[in-house]
Chain A
Amino acid sequence: MACSATAQIIQPLSINSARSVDNSDACAKILNPSSFLVSTPRINKKLFSVNKSISPFARRSATVFAVSSDVVKEKKLKSNSSLSNLLITKEEGLELYEDMYLGRAFEDMCAQMYYRGKMFGFVHLYNGQEAVSTGFIKLLKKEDCVVSTYRDHVHSLSKGVPAREVMGELFGKTTGCCRGQGGSMHMFSKEHNVLGGFAFIGEGIPVATGAAFTSKYKREVLKEDCDEVTLAFFGDGTCNNGQFFECLNMAALWKLPIVFVVENNLWAIGMSHLRATSDPQIWKKGPAFGMPGVHVDGMDVLKVREVAKEAIGRARRGEGPTLVECETYRFRGHSLADPDELRDPAEKAHYATRDPITALKKYMAENKLAAEAELKVIEKKIDELVEDAVEFADKSPVPARSQLLENVFADPRGFGIGPDGKYRCEDPKFTQGTAHV
């Protein structure tokens, strides 16, 4: 393709600025439900302009044309005043706002707690990316599964895991969702079907594929009424990993009910996506495996929600997987240990103007969906919730030594038979955590 051949070093700035009408037409075609299966990307050839400058921090005349769902924007422009043509109702709007604000407040509180020495290790915060989590997960049922990466606090919260349990887990207390044994990067919840929380990137994608396989198995072999969908969230760095491609292949091959959501925040720690990837347009990798690939503006929760509805609907109907690339940005560093010196401040400033929470607030105000006061009430409620979560986690007990050996095996006979002939798990010291195993 001509565009990818000419793409060199590109600074992902000013996405909104140079969008042409042809582009949006092409996008509209791609977004049309009936054409999901035939997503030949007909993109304006000027998708990437050549930037002769070698320095990755050059800001001159570099633009990226994103294939985004401008359908949404168009729709909005047409019917500004009529409430019935809006994308969301008031209740939905408040729900979305609450969820995004919870994510933001929680992550900010995590940062505070980390610097106060209440939690340790690697903590990866989700500030700025809330639209993706809220946009997708709020459309799911309780039985649907979510698989995430190490940046999983907000995915868990959106899915319904109580903030108390997540905070407890971060503090390493026994009241955490994983009894303090997982930590920031391993949030699991059987009740809410959050399948993790994985520290190695790409590790969760096969697990998500397996969960989707179970859904198909239940339907076709066990003949149960099952239309559960799995969402796999991962980043741009993961899209260069073998497991990603292997799973795209298998999911498309067996038409598994899964949606692969790429949270392309353009940076994998300090590695710019454009320096790591031969063809930076990740959504294009979907059609290569026979599934639709969609690119969406991940800073706008409404756009994400529209795309998510379609993708999740496809999966539920049994039409197979979808690859959704959400262009988003993380306001903080990769983790709380990352000084975040490599990223251009202008880039950060640009994305700060596209904060999803303020965008939704503005949308709701413009369309008279909610008054400022109502939103303030929600914010206050959330602030209190997060404070309560911290207090709860603080007061919770640390795990006792007896917890050490408990969950290593589902069947503790797996520790074997000791020299005295009894299973080691029958040794009284086992329950105290001091047995020799």
Chain B
Amino acid sequence: MLQAIGVASPSVSFSDHYNKFSVSSIRSFPVIRSDSRLISVSGSVHGSFKPKKVIAKATATQTESSASAASKPGHELLLFEALREGLEEEMDRDPRVCVFGEDVGHYGGSYKVTKGLAEKYGDLRVLDTPIAENSFTGMGVGAAMTGLRPVIEGMNMGFLLLAFNQISDNCGMLHYTSGGQFTIPTVIRGPGGVGRQLGAEHSQRLESYFQSIPGIQLVACSTVYNAKGLMKAAIRSENPVVLFEHVLLYNLKERIPDEEYVLSLEEAEMVRPGEHITILTYSRMRYHVMQAAKTLVNKGYDPEVIDIRSLKPFDLYTIGNSVKKTHRVLIVEECMRTGGIGASLTAAINENFHDYLDAPIVCLSSQDVPTPYAGTLEEWTVVQPAQIVAAVEQLCLIHISSYTHSLAFPTMTSSSNWRRKLFDLSMKYSVQTRLLVLNFYVKKRKNLGCLRVSEAENLGSSWKVGHYEKFLDRVDVGRDRRISDESWLEVECY
């Protein structure tokens, strides 16, 4: 459950201001944008508000690359075909690339990712193995140590639990324990995630189990474009890479460029830029998030959606820039609640960007439940778009409680200079509103070091210096205490 951001009731000195002032008179909720554009909205006090302006573009553009993709028509294909194309291009390019897996050869792969490759490259390069995951993964490690570049397919990611010994000890650690003598350039790939009523054991999300293993990289592909790019990058990488695909995404169709491209294994993908909240997601949940984004945009929110793609290591640069911009984070993942990718990501963001957060990070994950067979139950174990919409709405509110009421204010965004925060509290808003909001920030931002107060020009003297004296008592007043004629209230944090 989301926590309401509680602010202690205003102190007694303000209550007289406050009591004059009934709930019903609050009509407008300022939505303050960091570029000082104001969207003035009206609505009732208890939560919802309807914007006058609707942001036109709800969903992100499909192609992630720059305009060059738009100039060339490219070709359309399905995700599993894109994976195959990537694999085939790499096998053509380097004769040491080979594929091990169950039914990858003659059968063409249980999801047809390796269809046709055995006819083209032979049975030894596209090796049909017996059902011995631990051993053929180990075989892949041994082959990698002696010069080959195997791509090991787990028919379902869950089967790789049987190969955990080899993946953890040998793939992950051998480069280190051999003092850097041997490299293990393997790619371990396979479909995972919750499918359509596949049952508990075929619906596992192993990214959380693998993430602690030192020495491996985890990537998750989500679109046709990044599937091919990540497959190629993983094969070319000298590190062992685990590439997570999703069972339900294999039939996605998209147009991708004709020319060769390789994506970075460590970077995240900006799906939809926005201002209000950062939504971090990966794999199939990207589509649930985008569906929720449509709804949110119609409601007036502007979410920024990032597909993190690299599950280990996290791209803290892209994520950090986003957090610094929006100050609110929602993580939507299909992993389990306990110890999942979201849990790690929450910890990483808290550690690195705590000062930029205006609200606790919310993480929506699957329930800690073995995925049931029944369709209705299965739906409830996984995060659905409606839940995402509700979570965003909750996160974008601040609750300020008083003695008698709780008032809700939309979020205040601020410019992202991390040492100064500017709040645009222009004369449109009543003094009480401004004071309450300021009160909130004083309480929350304990490092509020200085208060610079200014008066509006030409707008009368509603702003009284005296109003702020109580604040000045509470904060550590620095040398910059002065009053000028500007219409901005600047609050400086030291």
Contacts and interface: CB of A to CB of B under 8 A. Distances in A.
B232 to A, nearest CB: 15
A211 B150 CA distance: 12
Which of B137, B147, B184, B353 has the most chain A CB atoms closer than 10 A to its own CB?
B147
B48 to A, nearest CB: 35
A190 interface: yes
A250 B266 CA distance: 36
Contact of A416 (B134, B135, B313): B313
A418 B141 contact: no
Interface of A: 145, 147, 176-183, 186, 188-190, 195-200, 203, 205-218, 220-222, 242-243, 246-247, 249-250, 253, 406-411, 413-421, 423-424, 437
A414 B177 contact: no
Contacts of B142: 147, 195, 206-214
Nearest to B267: A417
B339 interface: no
B118 interface: no
A246 B132 contact: yes
Nearest to B121: A221
19 contacts: A177-B179, A183-B177, A190-B181, A196-B174, A203-B166, A206-B142, A210-B140, A210-B141, A210-B144, A217-B148, A220-B124, A242-B134, A247-B138, A250-B129, A408-B215, A411-B238, A414-B217, A416-B310, A417-B318
B179 A414 contact: no
Interface string B111-153: 0000000000010110001101011111111111111100000
Contacts of A178: 177-179, 181
A340 B217 CA distance: 43
B138 A250 contact: no
B64 interface: no
B153 to A, nearest CB: 16
Contacts of B143: 210-211, 213-214, 217
A208 B140 CA distance: 10
Contacts of A147: 142
A212 B135 CA distance: 13
Nearest to B316: A419
A193 to B, nearest CB: 8
Contacts of B147: 214, 218
Interface residues of B, number: 60
Interface string B315-328: 11110100000000
Given A205-B138, A206-B139, A210-B143, A182 B169 contact: no
Nearest to A143: B146
Given A211-B145, A418-B316, A418-B317, A217 B139 contact: no
Contacts of A242: 132, 134-135
Nearest to A177: B179
A203 B129 contact: no
Given A206-B134, A419-B320, A423-B266, 8 more contacts: A182-B179, A188-B174, A188-B182, A190-B181, A207-B142, A243-B135, A249-B132, A406-B180
Contacts of B320: 419
B178 A182 contact: yes
Contacts of B185: 410
Contacts of B124: 216-217, 220-221
A207 B141 CA distance: 6
B316 A211 contact: no
Contacts of B182: 188, 190, 195
B420 to A, nearest CB: 20
B170 A221 contact: no
Interface string B148-172: 1000000000000000011001100
B494 interface: no
